[in-house]
């Protein structure tokens, strides 16, 4: 039986946070998680949601999640979907849950007139890379992710002259 996938609701915030922590632990980044239910409520379900979340269930068992948001391609002059996080707990992997989540997002992208669905994967996460490539995803070898955060972001956010 394929997993049930549905949009998350505010009542799902504890589950979403558990999945975020599970993903962070798998990626060896748990100390970087500062998300709280309150912050997630504001950014996922507030007046101007920054992202969307869907949940997967195998029967009654929470089986995974995907968090995504709208991006934009100037080259295509079309919106896109950017998959921020996809996570299936280790004990539930290999059952088609991750594939079902990606297919759900691909359908959403098509329904919304998006030109692409894209995401980043850690270069050491070979099982995820193999999974994505098995679905037809292409790695963008010529691109490197850049990020301003923390003190560097704050420094550059100062008004001119400060």
Number of separate helices (H) and strands (E) present in the chain: 5, 5
Q: Give CB contacts under 8 A, 24+ apart, made by 40-44.
A: 40/13, 40/16, 41/10, 41/13, 44/8, 44/16
Let me know: does 84 contact 69? Beta carbons within 8 Å: yes
Domains of the chain, by residue range, sit at 4-156
Architecture (CATH level 2) of domain 4-156:
3-Layer(aba) Sandwich (3.40)
pLDDT for 126 beyond 90 = yes
What is the per-residue pLDDT across 32-68, written as a single tens digit (0 to 9) for each?
999 999 999 999 999 999 999 999 999 999 999 999 9
- Per-residue model confidence as pLDDT tens digits over 143-161: 988 989 989 999 999 888 7
Say if residues 105 and 68 touch (Cβ distance below 8 Å): yes
Question: Is 82 in the active site?
Answer: no
Three-class HEC string of 110-160: HHCCCCCEEECCCCCCHHHHHHHHHCCCCCCCCCCCCCCCHHHHHHHCCCC
CA 53, CA 39: separation in Å to the nearest integer? 14
* Residue 66 and residue 86 in contact, taking contact as beta carbons nearer than 8 Å: yes
User: Given this model, what pLDDT does residue 95 score?
Assistant: 95
In whole numbers, what is the pLDDT of the chain averaged over residues? 95
Checking if the pLDDT of 162 tops 70, the result is no
Contact 80, 70 (CB under 8 A): yes
> If you average pLDDT over residues 117-121, what whole number do you get?
95
pLDDT of residue 1: 83
């Amino acid at each position: 039986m394929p997993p049930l996938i549905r949009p998350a609701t505010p009542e799902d915030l504890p589950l979403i946070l558990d999945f975020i922590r599970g993903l962070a632990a798998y990626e060896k980044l748990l100390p970087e998680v500062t998300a709280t239910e309150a912050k997630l409520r504001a950014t996922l379900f507030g007046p101007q949601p920054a992202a969307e979340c869907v949940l997967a269930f195998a029967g009654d068992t929470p089986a995974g999640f995907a968090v995504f948001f709208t991006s934009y391609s100037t080259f295509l002059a079309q919106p896109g979907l950017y998959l921020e996080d996809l996570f299936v707990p280790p004990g539930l992997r290999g059952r088609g849950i991750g594939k079902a989540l990606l297919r759900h997002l691909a359908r959403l992208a098509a329904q919304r007139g998006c030109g692409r669905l894209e995401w980043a994967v850690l270069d050491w996460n070979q099982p995820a890379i193999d999974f994505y490539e098995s679905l037809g995803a292409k790695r963008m070898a010529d691109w490197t992710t850049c990020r301003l955060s923390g003190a560097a972001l704050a420094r550059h956010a100062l008004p001119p002259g400060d």
